[in-house]
Amino acid sequence: MNIILAGVGGQGLVLTTDLICEVALEAGYDVKSNDVVGLSQRGGKVWGSVKFDKKVHSPNILKGDADLLLALEPLEGLRWQDYLKKGGKVMVNTAEVYPVFAIAEKMPYPHDFLERFRSDLVVEAHDVLAESIQIGTPKIVNVVMLGMLAKNLDIPVTIWKKVIQAKVPAKFLGQNIKGFDRGYQGF
C-alpha cells in the first residue's frame, strides 16, 4: 500500500504519518516512510509518504504509484494528485487553509479545487474541520481523516485505536477517538 499525505504546517501531519506507520507495524507489515518536510514555518507545505507490504525496499513513491492520498488541505491535495495511480483515491478536507506562499506571494487560491482533481480518481471530500469543531476541537482534523483512511485499509479498527491510545496524550484521547470514529463511520 502506497500512501501520500499532504497538508500545511500545524495540521498534525507528522503525528498522522507516525500513527499510520505504527498501525502497519502492529498489523505485521514491513513499513517505510519518508520524512515530512517543510516544517520550519507554520503554514508552510508539508508532506509525507508511507509504504507498507510484506516487504518494502524503499520509502519512495513515484508519480503514478500511490494508492491513496490523504489531503489535510485542498490545494496541497491538488499538488500531489499526480502521485496517484489511475483509480486511486483522494480523501480531502475541504476547509481551506491558505498556505504561506498563497498569502506571502498573493497567489490566488483555487476555490474550485474539487473540479481540478483528475477525472480518473475517486475523490472523497468533506469539511473535516467543521466535523472536528462539532466534536469539540479543531485540532483533530488529522485523526478524523485517519479514520477515513482506516476504512480503506484491511487493518482491524482495534489496532488503530490501540496505536492512537499509545501515541495521544490521555487528556486528548477521548476527542481523538471520537474523531477517528467519525471519520471511520463516515459523515
Residue 139 has pLDDT above 60, yes or no: yes
The structure's pTM equals 0.91
Q: Once rounded to an integer, what is the mean pLDDT over residues 94-102?
A: 71
Number of other CB atoms surrounding residue 51 within 10 Å: 24
CB 80 within 8 A of CB 71: yes
Helix (H, G, I), strand (E, B) or coil at 109: coil
Share of the chain above pLDDT 90, in %: 76
Q: Once rounded to an integer, what is the mean pLDDT over residues 26-54?
A: 83
Distance CA 175, CA 151 (A): 19
Q: Which structural domain range is residue 78 located in?
A: 2-185
Residue 97 has pLDDT above 90, yes or no: no
**Residue 101's pLDDT is what?**
54
Greater confidence (9 vs 24) lies with: 24
**Residue 125's pLDDT is what?**
96
Distance CA 73, CA 76 (A): 6
Residue 38 has pLDDT above 80, yes or no: no
Mean pLDDT across the chain, nearest whole number? Answer: 91
Greater confidence (35 vs 162) lies with: 162
Q: Indicate the Cα dihedral angle 131, 70, 117, 82, nearest 10°.
A: 170
Domain tally for the chain? 1
CATH number at residue 70: 3.40.920.10
What is the radius of gyration, based on Cα positions, of the chain? 15
